[in-house]
Amino acid sequence: MTAQPPPIVEQLHRLRVNAAAASTRLDVFAASRLPQLSRTRLQRLIEAGLVNVDGRLVRASYQVKPGETIEVLVGPAEPTDLVAEPIPLKVVFEDDH
């Protein structure tokens, strides 16, 4: 049997803009409401067309208005190609434990 890749899980987040958040940049507002996502990740989602404001695609710099509904469709994070490499480390302090 061959291993099956994990299923792709997408989450749709709906955010409502209140009066206190008026004139905040879209990426900043979304990052404050979705702390599990970095602002950079949100900017990439916005550029990919996965974030809309009342059904309209807008830029990350768009200033939100009270009463608007923001929808953010979040898929799995893109895998990274990071590879560990051995590096010499000098031990500066070592306790007895």
Q: Give the tens place of pLDDT for each residue, 33-66.
A: 999 999 999 999 999 999 999 999 999 999 999 9
Q: Is the pLDDT of residue 77 over 90?
A: no
**Mean pLDDT on 70-94:** 87
Q: Which long-range contacts (CB under 8 A, 24 or more apart) does 23-26 make?
A: 23/63, 23/64, 23/65, 24/63, 24/64, 25/60, 25/61, 25/62, 25/63, 25/64, 26/51, 26/53, 26/58, 26/59, 26/60, 26/61, 26/62, 26/63, 26/64, 26/70
Q: Give the tens place of pLDDT for each residue, 22-39.
A: 999 999 999 999 999 999
pTM over 0.85, yes/no? no
pLDDT of residue 96: 84
pLDDT of residue 45: 96
